[in-house]
Amino acid sequence: MKRKIAAIFAADIAGYSRLVAEDEEETLRRLEAYREVVDDFIARAGGRIFNTAGDAVMAEFPSAVEAVRCAIDIQESLRTRNMAYPPSRQMSYRIGITIGDVVERDGDLLGDGVNIAARLEGLADVGGICISRAVHEQVANKLSVQFADMGPREVKNIPTPVHAYRVAMRREDGTYATEKAAPSGATRARIWRQTAAVVVFALIGGAVALSLNLSGAGSQRHDADAAKAASEALARLSAAPASPTPTTSPPAGPTAAQPGTPQQLAQPTPAPSSSSIAVEKFAPEAVPFVSERTRIALARDYVPAQAHKAFATTINGVSAYVTGQPTEEAAKSAALEQCQQRAETSNGPRKCELYAIDDSVVYPHSKPPLPPLPWVRHDPATERAFSAAEMPLVHDAGRAKLEANYGSGRRSKAVALGPGGQFFFSSGGDLVDDVVRRNLEACGAQAGTACMIVALDDAFVVPVPTVMKATGFFHAASHPAIAAEARDEVVRRLAASPSGWNAVAVGTAGHPGFGLNGDREETAIGGALADCSTQDTDCRVIAIGPFTVEPN
């Protein structure tokens, strides 16, 4: 391991899950194009990408100035590209940048610097940039842009507040957006009184709610006393002077201009934000990637153990946990080290990440996307022996890997496939359902979208076309070749035909034709073309089973 100081850049697409849900294929195509822009700007600025997951990008720069300049270039370039799309379909990054002490391990970076950059990214506006105070000090006099002081912010899993600044991005007319001015003294006083009144009314409501859950004279007296005290506090508040003198000044920028934020209560220490309070509690049954056996061990050994403890894992389920450590830092280091040692001997991804510290989930990524149940449908009409050479969407190198490792693998085993040709497989599992879940989770984490199980043990469990070439996943509700008014019918007809070979064809006007419940791929293709030709011209097959297709 090697320690160093670096400028850390974290970027993530705002609303990515919604964009994928609305039109998966178009979103993935645009993501690939936008990533080429991002990667090119990072390389030209002397940066190095050290981690990607789905739509996220993490990079390091030797200079904070180059990191911020690169971020501005990326946002302005993508803003221009987004002008070609309606607001609901625009794809915009949030970017966070900090300077921190990080640990380099096998090309990856770990440490608080990485975590803080990810949290700053979450504070950024859509299409915006958020930087730490350390970065601001480095770049304030070197770049011709404006900055808005957001003040200290409580962020998840970072023990001390992070002082953040927002970079003012350029408007369409070439000017730069400026932040709202801090409220005047009279306005702050009114905000303070209104916010405190809300707090008092919440106390009154809390006393009333508490009485619903407690019984006996003692609790009733407690409720009456609480309500009385709250009423007296409200009366004192109403009589308070119009301009209370704050013990600390609220920070400049939009935070101070928005009523009800903790800074406007003029407290010496800001109250925790909702993001710092809503910490996910560790639950073994919800841990992704790992086997059911590991979940049982976590419930038996990890959950009841006292602090300090930590649990780390890779997306292919290599994991380690430690308990009874002298400090939290010792627990984190030991869990990562043990996990990394095990990962080095595995065939899958070797990047270990902390999933939990003590009883709190600290995993920096969202849960991997999963398809709707059931995850596997057995249909004798379409199932056939697995062949790596016939694996859809996958490149030749991937097929060679499957040929060398999957075919000879021990049951239970499965292959999960993503719409862009990403795939993940494992063998030697104890439970079929467990193997299916873990492969879908690992594939989903890599692809950034839901994958499907295409092979289970030694058989394809979905219709895999061979007469035509699979090019992606078929989503009838959003496919552009189908007339908009006909998409619901396509969805309904396919849902009513869950077995056999199904094919969909369209003509120049987008009218669909169906070949459903066929006993062979050729039968479904012929039926779809014949049905389409009765209502449209120049018909072509666009889908077979779960795949979009084109001629071989």
Q: Check whether residue 217 and residue 350 sit in a common domain.
A: no
In this predicted structure, the answer to whether residue 207 has a pLDDT above a threshold of 70 is no
In a domain, 369, yes or no: no
Q: Residue 155's pLDDT is what?
A: 85
In a domain, 31, yes or no: yes
Q: Check whether residue 240 and residue 304 sit in a common domain.
A: no
pLDDT band (50, 70, 90) for residue 170: low
Q: pLDDT: is 183 or 310 the higher one?
A: 310
Lowest mean pLDDT among 83-97, 204-218, 307-321: 204-218
pLDDT band (50, 70, 90) for residue 9: very high
In a domain, 377, yes or no: no
Q: Check whether residue 211 and residue 333 sit in a common domain.
A: no
In this predicted structure, the answer to whether residue 276 has a pLDDT above a threshold of 60 is no
Q: Check whether residue 409 and residue 355 sit in a common domain.
A: no
Q: Check whether residue 28 and residue 118 sit in a common domain.
A: yes
Which amino acid would we find at residue 216? G
At CA 438, angle to CA 434 and CA 444, rounded to 5? 145
Q: Check whether residue 354 and residue 426 sit in a common domain.
A: no
CA distance 552 to 540: 13
In a domain, 378, yes or no: no
Burial environment of residue 344 by CB neighbours within 10 A (0 to 12, 13 to 18, 19 or more): exposed
Q: Residue 253's pLDDT is what?
A: 31
The set of residues, in sequence order, having a beta carbon less than 8 Å from that of 327 and lying 6+ positions away, is 308
In a domain, 317, yes or no: yes
Q: Check whether residue 79 and residue 145 sit in a common domain.
A: yes
Helix (H, G, I), strand (E, B) or coil at 189: helix
Q: Check whether residue 433 and residue 324 sit in a common domain.
A: no
In a domain, 189, yes or no: yes
List, as one string, the DSSP characters of 54-113: TTEEEEEES-HHHHHHHHHHHHHHHHHHHTTS-GGG---EEEEEEEEEEEEETTEEESHH
At 449-502, the pLDDT tens digits run 899 999 999 999 999 999 999 999 999 999 999 999 999 999 999 999 999 999
The set of residues, in sequence order, having a beta carbon less than 8 Å from that of 63 and lying 6+ positions away, is 7, 46
Q: Check whether residue 312 and residue 447 sit in a common domain.
A: no
List, as one string, the DSSP characters of 264-281: GGT-SSPPPPHHHH-PPB
Relative to beta strand 93-105, strand 129-132 is parallel
Mean pLDDT of all residues in 515-531: 96
Domain count, the chain: 5
Q: Residue 278's pLDDT is what?
A: 59
pLDDT band (50, 70, 90) for residue 348: low
Final residue belonging to a domain, choices 459, 491, 516: 459
CA distance 450 to 461: 17
Q: Residue 447's pLDDT is what?
A: 87
In a domain, 201, yes or no: yes
Q: Dihedrals φ, ψ of 105, to 5°? A: -140, 115
Three-state secondary structure string covering 35-55: HHHHHHHHHHCCCEEEEEECC
Final residue belonging to a domain, choices 311, 329, 361: 361
pLDDT band (50, 70, 90) for residue 365: confident
Final residue belonging to a domain, choices 414, 436, 459: 459
Q: Check whether residue 15 and residue 115 sit in a common domain.
A: yes
At 398-428, the pLDDT tens digits run 999 999 999 889 999 999 999 999 999 999 8
By residue range, what is the domain housing residue 505? 468-551
In this predicted structure, the answer to whether residue 136 has a pLDDT above a threshold of 80 is yes
Lowest mean pLDDT among 35-44, 71-80, 108-117, 342-351: 342-351
What count of Cα atoms within 13 Å lies in the side-chain half-sphere of residue 315?
A: 25
Q: Residue 156's pLDDT is what?
A: 83
State the chain's mean pLDDT as an integer.
81
Q: pLDDT: is 269 or 535 the higher one?
A: 535
Q: Check whether residue 65 and residue 10 sit in a common domain.
A: yes
Q: Residue 223's pLDDT is what?
A: 40
In this predicted structure, the answer to whether residue 531 has a pLDDT above a threshold of 90 is yes
In a domain, 367, yes or no: no
